[in-house]
Structure 1
Amino acid sequence: MGTPFISRLEPTRLDGYDPSKPHDQQAAHLPPVFLDAMAVREAVFVGEQGTPLDCEYDNDDARSCHWTIYASVNMTASAEQRDPSTGAVLRPRRSETRTMPIGTMRIVPFPHPPHPPPGARYVGNVLQDDDDDDDGEGGAAQDHSGVSSLSSTAGAAPPRRRSKTLTSVDEERQASALPYGPDKPTTYHDGKEPYVKLGRVAVVPEFRGHHIAGQMWRAARKWLEDNPAFFNPSVTELGMDQLKVGAVSEIPKWKGLVCCHAQERVVKVYEKWGFRVDEGMGKWFEEGIPHVGMFQRLHIKQGNPKV
């Protein structure tokens, strides 16, 4: 394996993406970095973990930042051929170096749906009533996290309001910062502070054990620390009425808080990355797997607010 390199995709419109089709059958205009990310997610979440293909893509993908890590791999283009009677080589093995995606993760900006209720069960991103889901098994989990694929997913973004002063891409990014409203306070979250969510972390089986996921998180963390105001809404572009606030001081701003939803069995991996279990969030179940919430606060420098 050659030295891995990482590509980042900022929030972008993904119009035309068909969730019922795999990445290699999507429209040609879609960003290659995103399609490569979906190739990894399909291999891990759909192929290994059994998530239905049409549940893997969600409404958060267009408003998120995605990191995809690649490696140059020497692969066999044609196998060696020998004479069956003499063993003489008729055609030597031919190899070629190809660049392939081997891992991905995303950062979902605020806002997020309310924290999962303790003891809750989710199937297909939907909170189940007790009578609807006796064993917690079924469709796609809200969070596809695991040893090989540490990830989480937020719910759908709130409806967008159009603004003539923004490009379509900027509108999606800025409108995503509008708040859902207060949440329940937990150990590390006061229920009000905006946070971003680390999720959809996956590494293909052949490249596990090489700290690939850790490399991606370090890249994402540095980017977040260097661009702390990226997801903050702009009163200049949106206006106070669209932000639904009465004063500039009320405009939501990200102050370094990062959340992830983790399977209990991989908590130690996230702890190595600096996350801590939020006991106040309790435990919930996604596709029958127990999950806990974890938070980390990055040390960022707050610049002049974008007004």
Structure 2
Amino acid sequence: MATQGSHVQVEVQPPPGSIVAPNGFPADPRPKDAPQVFLDAMDIRIKVFCDEQKCAIEPELDEDDPKSWSWVAYQQSPETKQKVPVSTLRIVPPPHPPHPNGFHDASEEPYVKVTRVATMSHARGQGLNKFLMNHALDYLASQPGLISSDWRGLVLTHAQVSVEGLYVKLGFTTDDRLGRWDEEGIEHLGMWKKLSLPDTTG
């Protein structure tokens, strides 16, 4: 599905399943038979996390990818007039393993996890992360059954500490219980947001 905003087109890729890792993991981060939107998301992820931030490429495509939703924002190239993928994020449905610091709350309600949020360097400063995040969360909130029958709007992100302020502006709250941890040499923390879901009881 694609939607159009002023100069940005957004496409969503539902969970692609085992086609992205037909032989298990580790897997080719650019799987040849994967849907194009998924490949566009992976291209952004590789360029930002692996090429720019020097994270290892081997674990970039992981066990969450087959079951996750991906969103990609596109802009039109002024030279070729073709759409170019510039920003992406991934949303992982429940269930999830314990938090990175080992914290576990038996009463914790099911949540979705926002991960792999990345924007190409030349497209930063345009509010694309905020635009794409709001688009993705609004999409899921309007159709909560896409996630699971018992999901009630709780969202978690494992954010890089350097962009904590961005997530605060998006309505997320830092959870000190989750502490801070290192992923690929980058310090992360956990933040929550609760979405308002449509009333389906009537």
TM-score (norm. length: structure 2): 0.87
Q: Give the 3 Å change call, closer, same or farther, for CA 222–282 of structure 1 in structure 2.
A: same
Distance in 1 between the 2:44 and 2:126 partners? 16
Aligned to 1:184: 104
- Aligned mate of 1:98, from 50, 75, 82: 82
* 1:271 maps to amino acid: V
Alignment equivalent of 1:116, drawn from 100, 107, 111? 100
- Cα RMSD, aligned residues only: 2.0
Q: Map residues 141-160 of structure 1 onto 2, 5 A cutoff.
A: none
Give 2:131's aligned residue.
215
Residue of 188, 193, 199 corresponding to 1:296? 193
Q: Which residue of 2 aligns with 1:132?
A: none
Residue 35 (1) aligns with residue 19 (2): no
CA displacement, residues 156-186 of structure 1 (integer Å, 9 cap, x when unaligned): xxxxxxxxxxxxxxxxxxxxxxxxxxx623x
Please list the CA deviations of residues 236-293 of structure 1 after superposition, one character each: whole Å capped at 9, or x if unmatched. xxxxxxxxxxxxxxxxx11110000112221100001000001121222223332211
- The Cα of 1:114 is off from its aligned counterpart by 0.3
2:111 to 175, 195, 209: 195
Amino acid at match of 1:102: V
Give the % identical residues: 36
In the alignment, the residues of structure 1 paired with residue 29 and residue 69 of structure 2 have an alpha-carbon distance, to the nearest angstrom, of 20
In the alignment, residue 296 of structure 1 is paired with which amino acid?
Answer: K
> Higher helix fraction: Structure 1 or Structure 2?
2
The 2-side partners of 1:264 and 1:211 are apart by: 19
Q: Whole-Å Cα distance in 2 between the matches of residues 58 and 209 of structure 1?
A: 29
Query: Quick one: which of 15, 19, 23 aligns to 1:15?
Result: 19
Distance change in 2, residues 1:207/1:114 (3 Å): same
Aligned counterpart, 1:152: none
- Output the amino acid matched with 2:165: K
What is aligned with 1:137? none
Matched, 1:206 2:97: no
Which residue pairs with 1:44 in the alignment?
A: 48
CA distance in 2 between counterparts of 1:203 and 1:16 reads: 22
Distance 1:223 1:20 in 2: 29
Report which of the two structures shows the higher radius of gyration computed on alpha carbons: 1
TM-score, with length taken from structure 1: 0.59
Q: Would the aligned equivalents of 2:29 and 2:60 in 1 still touch at CA under 8 Å?
A: no
1:227 corresponds to which letter in structure 2?
A: Q
- Given that residues 67 and 105 in structure 1 are in contact (C-alpha distance below 8 angstroms), is that contact kept between their aligned partners in structure 2? yes
Shift of 1:38: 0.6
8 A contact 1:21–1:53 mirrored in 2: no
Q: CA deviation at 1:232?
A: 1.5
Please state if 1:279 is matched with 2:176: yes
Task: Tell me the distance in 1 between the aligned counterparts of 2:55 and 2:131.
Answer: 25
Correspondence for 1:63: 67
CA contact (8 A) 1:228 1:302 kept: no
- Provide runs of 4+ in structure 1 moved above 3 Å: 16-22
Look up the match of 2:3: none
Structure 2, gaps ≥5 residues long: 1-5
| Matched letter for residue 259 of structure 1 | L
Partner of 1:269: 166
Greater relative contact order (CA < 8 Å, ≥ 6 in sequence): 1
Per-residue CA shift, 1:87-109, capped at 9, x if unaligned? xxxxxxxxx32211111101100
Secondary structure at the counterpart of residue 51 of structure 2: helix
Larger strand percent = 2
Q: Secondary structure in 2 aligned to 1:74?
A: coil
